[in-house]
Amino acid sequence: MKLVFATHNPNKLKEVKLLLPKHIKLVSLTDIGCNKEIPETAATLEGNAQLKADFVTEHYGYPCFADDTGLLVEALNGAPGVHTARYAGEQKNALDNIDKLLGQLKNEANREAQFKTVIALNLEGQRQLFIGTVKGVITERMQGTKGFGYDPIFKPNGHNGTFAELPLTTKNKISHRGIAIQKLITHLKK
């Protein structure tokens, strides 16, 4: 089965390819000739994921899934939330986002946070949502070189290192995206 993952992010594509069964040929937006940045104008992660999946299905005719992920920091009332990727501006620069977040938490004792991923699947005329969350804390400085985005400052509960310090196989088992993808895989196997 050929399935489009509505992303241009090669890191996300790599992570997800490792998780999917081999009989599913996963392709990206670039692979189907979609070079547009699909607008994320919804007020929720669920809404943005569905907007992206619907765009691909409507304009390209492929079965598709899309995700939207938010980092929800307790001391910031759930921010950056739906604005996670563009927290420091439209340039979507991970280091700028990290710097802004660490600056806002500089004198904050409560560093609890959670990552939430929502996957919207459009397949055979049906729409499904799959949600994964992982709780943890925001570290005071960047640690580790693996991963992407906020991985160097997010330490999941029960682990001594940040996502950027954990092996990819470990991260995929415990991460918000990994949990949501496992729910998607279970659904695809039915």
Could you count the other beta carbons within 10 Å of the beta carbon of residue 141? Answer: 9
Above 90 in pLDDT, residue 16?
no
Helix (H) or strand (E) holding 38: none
In the chain the domains, ranked by start, together with CATH numbers, are 2-188 (3.90.950.10)
How far are the Cα atoms of 117, 121, 182 from residue 187, in angstroms, in the given order? Answer: 16, 10, 9
Above 90 in pLDDT, residue 27?
yes
Average pLDDT over all residues of the chain: 93
**Residue that the structure tokens 């280091």 belong to:** 95
- The pair of three-digit structure tokens given for residue 49, joined into one six-digit string: 């994921």
Give the residue-averaged pLDDT of 147-172: 93
Give DSSP secondary structure letters for 98-156: HHHHHHHTTT-S--EEEEEEEEEEEETTEEEEEEEEEEEEE-SS---SSSSTTGGGEEE
Q: Which residues are catalytic?
A: 68
pLDDT tens for each residue of 89-129: 988 899 999 999 999 999 999 999 999 999 999 999 999 99
pLDDT tens for each residue of 37-77: 898 899 999 999 999 999 999 999 999 999 999 999 999 99
